[in-house]
């Protein structure tokens, strides 16, 4: 390393049965402001009107397939229904290309989501959460879901950051991974801020050998040149090619017996 050069933060930091993996997330500006995203989403939702029923359409006593929040025909167009909320999510993604989380792929192969500025009040660094990128139910990317900042009934005055999967409307706590009323648990990752970067903790046995090899800095190695063989009479020393050697003449001999 050249004199005066700033050392790059370590890519992997072993920690017993776990390993801390460096990301390129360094400051809040690298993340999506959760509260700002929620405000924009709710603003778009207020501008959605209830479309009139189609002429001649009969209302059947059949429920829509809306996961944990079943609705009847005729109710799906309600402004606050999950069906309408999902349409607003798609419209926002198509128009702005902004999801409520920042998706990061770790060098270990883990695909995770960074959530920011939601949940219990506190320092901004305490309002960063990392979860698996996909819903544990059917693998839908949760970056396409609806971020919520809801009242924590267990702790009055506090908040809980939640993400709703758009496919079956299951919601997950960003801090614990728990889903109210469901058995599935979203994987959450411990994180820490060090060397000016956010690190994500993964089990050491999930860090591949190739990744471990790439975590070390390149080292200049001295390679000893192979010792030249002792030249035969009339031959130049190796490693000269045969073309550089003087031609040799083979002579015939008679044998007895």
Average pLDDT estimate for 10-19: 96
CB neighbourhood size of 18 (10 A) = 16
Cα 217 to Cα 8: distance, rounded to the nearest angstrom: 9
Q: Which of 101, 83, 79 is nearest to 30 (CA)?
A: 101
CB neighbourhood size of 47 (10 A) = 8
The answer, yes or no, to whether residue 100 has pLDDT greater than 60, is: yes
The mean predicted confidence, pLDDT, of the chain is 79
- Write phi, then psi, for 160 (nearest 5 degrees): -130, 125
Average pLDDT estimate for 155-162: 90
Say if CB 167 and CB 185 are below 8 A apart: no
What pLDDT does 75 receive?
A: 44
The answer, yes or no, to whether residue 254 has pLDDT greater than 90, is: no
Going by pLDDT thresholds of 50, 70 and 90, the confidence category of residue 94 is confident
What pLDDT does 48 receive?
A: 77
What pLDDT does 212 receive?
A: 60
Average pLDDT estimate for 65-91: 66
pTM for the full model? 0.71
What pLDDT does 172 receive?
A: 97
Cα 130 to Cα 132: distance, rounded to the nearest angstrom: 7
Q: What is the pLDDT of residues 194-232, one digit of tens each?
A: 999 999 999 999 997 646 655 544 333 343 444 555 555
Q: What is the pLDDT of residues 112-125, one digit of tens each?
A: 999 999 999 999 99
What pLDDT does 37 receive?
A: 96
What pLDDT does 78 receive?
A: 61
Cα 162 to Cα 177: distance, rounded to the nearest angstrom: 9
- Tracing tokens 């970067």 back to the chain, one arrives at 197
Average pLDDT estimate for 178-204: 96
Environment class of 123 (CB within 10 Å of its CB; exposed 0-12, middle 13-18, buried 19+) = exposed
Q: Measure Cα distances from 151 to 34, 148, 164 in Å.
A: 15, 10, 15
What pLDDT does 3 receive?
A: 60
What pLDDT does 57 receive?
A: 52
Helix, strand, or coil here: 162? strand
Residue 148 backbone zone (phi > 0: left; psi -120 to 50: alpha; other: beta): beta
Classify residue 53 by its DSSP letter: P
Residue 203: which H helix or E strand, with range? Answer: strand 197-203
Q: What is the pLDDT of residues 24-76, one digit of tens each?
A: 999 999 999 999 999 999 999 888 765 545 555 554 443 333 445 444 334 44
């Amino acid at each position: 390393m050249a004199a005066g050069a700033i050392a790059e933060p370590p890519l992997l930091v072993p920690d017993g049965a776990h390993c801390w993996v460096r990301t390129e997330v360094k400051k809040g500006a690298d993340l999506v402001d959760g509260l700002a995203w929620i405000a924009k989403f709710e603003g778009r939702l207020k501008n959605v009107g209830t479309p009139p029923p189609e002429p001649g359409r009969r209302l059947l006593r059949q429920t829509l397939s809306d996961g944990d929040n079943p609705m009847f025909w005729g109710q799906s167009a309600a402004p606050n229904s999950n069906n309408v909320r999902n349409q607003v999510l798609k419209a926002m993604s198509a128009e702005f290309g902004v999801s409520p989380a920042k998706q990061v792929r770790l060098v270990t192969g883990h695909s995770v989501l960074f959530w920011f500025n939601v949940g219990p009040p506190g320092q901004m660094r305490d309002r960063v959460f990392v979860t698996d990128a996909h819903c544990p139910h059917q693998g839908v990317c949760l970056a396409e879901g609806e971020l919520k900042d809801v009242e924590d009934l267990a702790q009055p005055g506090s908040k809980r950051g939640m993400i709703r999967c758009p496919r079956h409307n299951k919601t997950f706590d960003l801090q614990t991974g728990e889903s109210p009323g469901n058995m599935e648990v979203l994987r959450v990752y411990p994180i820490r801020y060090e060397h000016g970067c956010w690190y994500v903790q993964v089990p050491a046995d999930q860090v591949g050998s190739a990744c471990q090899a790439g975590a070390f800095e390149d080292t200049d190695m001295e390679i000893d040149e192979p010792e030249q063989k002792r030249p035969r009479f009339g031959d130049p020393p190796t490693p000269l090619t045969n073309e550089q050697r003087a031609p040799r003449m083979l002579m015939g001999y008679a044998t007895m017996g």
